[in-house]
Every structure is written in C-alpha cells, then in structure tokens.
Structure 1
Amino acid sequence: MPATDYDDFAQAYAVSNESNLFNAYYARPEMLRLAGDVSGRRVLDAGCGSGPMAAELRASGADVAGFDASAAMVDLARRRLGDDVDLRVADLREPLPYDDAEFDDVVASLVLHYLEDWSGPLGELRRVLKPGGRLLVAVNHPAAYAIVYPDADYFARTEYTEDYVFDGQTVWLTFWHRPLHAMADSFAAAGFRIATISEPPPAQDTPADVLPPGLEPGQSFMCFLFFVLEAT
C-alpha cells in the first residue's frame, strides 16, 4: 500500500474510525478482547493509523509502540498519544526499525489485506516478537469476497478495489484477496501457530442506529476474520 494512499484522507479516516461500525464497534473491540490482559507487556501496533488501538492498549497497562506507512496518520497518532510513545513511519514491505525479539505482542488490525506478498511482512513481525509472543491479526474475511464477487475465483490471490466513504469523503482502497488456506500456509511458513480464529458479532455496546438493516444486536456477520497466532 503506497504511503500516500492514507495521507490523502488521513483526517477523514480518523474521524470515521472513532464511531463507525467496522472500526469502533467491530475490529477494535475484538482485537482488544483477543489481546486480553496486556498489563506490563511490550506491544507493537503495526499499522497504527491515528492511534486509537494504541491508546486503549496503553490505558490497559501495555508499553506501546506503533508504526504506519502514512506519515499523516503517524502525525495524528502523535497528537493523540504524545511524545512519550515510540511512533514511527515504516512500511511492512520493508525491514522494520526494531530489534529482534523486542515485543511480547504485535497487533496488525486491517493491514495485511493491503499486501500482495505476506512472506516478508510476516517474517519481520515474527523477527521482532519474543519466542512464544503473539501476533493478533484482523483481515478482510475471504468468504465475504466470495459472496460479494460470486463470479471471481475464490482460490486465486486477486487484487480488487472498492470505494468507501469516510466522514463524507469518498476514497478508493485496493486490497488483496487470498483464500483461507493460503493465509494459514503463510502463517505457518513464517513461524506462527494458529491459536484462535474468531468470527465475532459487533460489540455489545454497538448503538442500534450503527447496525445495518436486518442485523440484530449480538448477531455475527461476514466482514473480518480474526486470528491469534503464537510465535513458535
């Protein structure tokens, strides 16, 4: 994902991220639930955006660091978190600016599906994790791709682009679909074991007016797929 993609609409995305269904009431609460007790743990937020996840992890007692490919996003995160949090501009497709075995946990929420190749990024995330550390991942659900694009080849790694509206601004995002078995193979090749797969409902406190028509409170829907991976 080119760094300029999010630079162009960083503020609009950050505003939407605070209250929309997909980020505020689905991806972020589930990632925090899967993280559990992070008190005293060193946690890296990979693709930190404007910093809402890092802020909640820090509030739960974690020693947080974060990076994003978008300099504009990192600037917003610095405004939120202050100068005492290690925030950097870095790209997952390149070597990361961290030492080996530096972190207890890495969270990578809605990041990997922007990347065509996972081998290098997952290798770097494994490198910066301590042995037995955890990588928490949220990606676009591969089955949702098959539902939205019924004529596409589910089993092929495929690039696709969709439009989204963030705080009134329409933007186009490009993703890479890959089938579930390809995800699992990539995790294993990088030295991870799948400990948990989650397909949750929205958070219990989701306002009724945020839910799409027909989705009842507490009802799961096809959107993102969540993993907890253990570094072997």
Structure 2
Amino acid sequence: MKEKIQKVFDSLSTVYENQVDDSSLYNTQYERPGMLAEVKQDLHGKKILDAGCAAGWYANELLLRGADVTAVDISPQMIAATKRRIGDRGKAFCLDLEEPLPFHNSSFDLIISSLTLHYLQDWTRVFAEFSRILKSGGEYLFSVHHPFMDINISENKCYFETEALTDIWNKQGKEFEVPMYRRPLQDIINETTKAFTLTSIKELQPTAKLKELNAESYQYLMNNPHFLLIKAKKR
C-alpha cells in the first residue's frame, strides 16, 4: 500500500504544485486557515519540521514567518516541487515517516503535519519518533481526515475498526485511486496521548469567505465535517 501511496502522489505532484493553491477551496478556505490560526505569526528562531510537505505550501508559509524549516515527504516528485518552491531557503528530503528519522534528539520546536497521517498505518512508531525529535515543551500540530468523512467511503461501515480504504479523486479530467487508512476518533486521540499531552481538538469549519465563493460547499462542510485538527505538546 505504501508504494501505491507514493506513486499516486508522484502523479498528483503537478496538480499540487500548480492548481491546489488556487483552485482547491477545501485547502484555501478550510484546512489551511484552521491550521495557520494555531501557528504564531513570528517564527524567527524556531526550527520546524513539515512532515508530509506535499508541494511545499506550508514549508514556504513557515519560511515567510521566519522559521528554519525542514520539509519531508515520501514522494520524490513532491519533494522536487517543494525544492522548486522554497529554493535554498529551507531543506527538503524524501523520507518515509514510518521509518526512523535522520534527525537528532530534541531537534525541533514544532512539527506540523497537514493531511498526512491518514496515509500512515503505524501511528505509534511515528509519534514516538516525533516525540524524540521534538524539544522539551515542543508542539505537534496536525490535521487529519475526520472519522465522519471516511466512514462514508467504507464498505463494511464498521466504525470502530481501523481499515484500509481507497478514495477516488477527480483531478485534471483524470481519476486517481488514493489509498488511505480510516480510524475511529478514540484511536486518533489515544494514539496522540500515548506520546504527547493533548492541548486542543478542533473540528475545522470553513471560512466565511467560502460562503461567499461557494455557498453549497460551505453548507456541506458545516453539516459534514471533513477535517480534524489536533494540537499537542511534548511532555
């Protein structure tokens, strides 16, 4: 499954690099505003890991706020796109988050992970590594699919199971089969609190601007939560 995930995001890298920032209202008016509201405007002196950087939008935003940014992703094509976006202002590496990470203990002040964890099967090992490389008191901020979203594409509808799913995305007139894992809410919370102290949970809501741009999408998201935001701190 991991190989399939890498291949599909290699194929989607052009879409992420050239279209998502402008055309995906779920990103621009939903997930990104919610995430950035939890990040300080002035990040000078802060070392941040962008874990699952895709085409580098968050890496660039964090750099603009003054951070020292390291971006990682399993897709070589996404890393290539990130490098084109950030140049030599930050670092970008092709890495598997489910493997040991090549960073020293207590390397980062913040780890941010946008819509990445639902592509990973083993959260226990990933979170243990994130805890290891975070400084004492460092923060971990991530967004993930809301369990209410993914249960809709589950065949067996067994909410309390963790299961592999395949979603169909339509991009640039093509269909992409995107593998992922669905988890119940209690597993998301329990995995987080094994390694971190939970700070806040937010069921993201769309911006008022989305209501102006697309009232139907706004109302749909208000009635059908898609993304969950978790903020935690290293003990």
Query: Is the TM value for this pair above 0.5?
Result: yes
Cα distance in 2 for partners of 1:68, 1:176 equals 17
Q: What is the DSSP-based 3-state SS (H/G/I as helix, E as strand, rest coil) of the residue aligned with 1:18? A: helix
1:60 to 56, 62, 65: 65
Q: Which residue of 1 aligns with 2:18?
A: 15
1:187 and 1:87 mapped to 2: Cα distance? 25
Tell me the residue number matched to 1:5: 8
Secondary structure in 2 matching 1:135: strand
Cα 1:33/1:217, change in 2 over 3 Å: farther
Return the letter of the residue paired with 2:210.
Answer: T
Aligned residue type for 2:30? Y
1:164 aligns with 2:187: no
Letter in 2 for 1:202: P
In the alignment, which of 218, 221, 229 is matched to residue 226 of structure 1?
229
Structure 1 residues 24 and 167: alpha-carbon distance in aligned structure 2, compared to 1, 3 A threshold = farther
Q: Which residue of 2 aligns with 1:127?
A: 132
Two-structure CA RMSD over aligned residues (Å): 2.1
2:119 maps to 114
Task: Please state how far the C-alpha of 1:167 moved relative to its aligned partner.
Answer: 3.4
Cα distance in structure 2, aligned partners of 1:185 and 1:77: 32
Q: Hey, what does 1:78 align to over in structure 2?
A: 83
3-state SS of the aligned residue for 2:132?
A: helix
For the pair 1:28 / 2:32, whether they are aligned, the reply is yes
The offset of 1:135, in angstroms, is 0.7
Give the C-alpha shift of residue 216 in structure 1.
Answer: 4.4
Change in CA separation of 1:223 and 1:217 when aligned onto 2, cut-off 3 Å: closer
CA 1:52–1:220: 2 relative to 1, 3 Å: farther
* Residues 170-209 of structure 1, C-alpha deviations (whole Å, 9 max, x = no match): 21111111111111111122x2011011113223443734
Give the TM-score normalised by the residue count of structure 1.
Answer: 0.90
Q: Partners in 1 of 2:99 and 2:217 — Cα distance?
A: 42
Over 3 Å counting, the alpha-carbon distance change for 1:38 and 1:172 in structure 2 is farther
Letter in 2 for 1:101: S
Q: Where does the alignment leave 5 or more consecutive residues of structure 2 unmatched?
A: none
Q: Deviations over 1:41-76 (max 9, x none)?
A: 111100111111111111122221111111111111
| Mapped partners of 1:38, 1:141: distance in 2 | 29
- 152 and 216 in structure 1: CA distance in 2 versus 1, 3 angstrom threshold: closer
Q: Which residue of 1 aligns with 2:157?
A: 152
TM-score (norm 2): 0.89
Change (3 A) 1:55 1:179: same
| 2:202 equivalent in structure 1 | 198
The 8 Å contact of residues 211 and 218 in structure 2, kept in 1 or not, is answered as no
CA contact (8 A) 1:202 1:220 kept: no
Distance 1:117 1:143 in 2: 21
CA contact (8 A) 2:139 2:232 kept: yes
User: 1:141-171: per-residue Cα shift (whole Å, max 9, x none)?
Assistant: 0122335548511000111111112333321
One-letter amino acid of the structure 2 residue matched with residue 120 of structure 1? R
Across the two proteins, how many residue pairs are aligned to each other? 230
> Where in structure 2 are the equivalents of 1:39-50 lying within 5 Å?
39-40=43-44, 41-50=46-55
Matched, 1:91 2:96: yes
Determine what percentage of the aligned residue pairs are the same residue: 30
Q: Aligned partners of 1:85, 1:135: CA distance in 2, in Å?
A: 20
Match of 2:140, as an amino acid? L
Give matches, 1:181-220, under 5 Å.
181-189=186-194, 191-206=195-210, 208-209=212-213, 211=214, 213=216, 215-216=218-219, 219=222
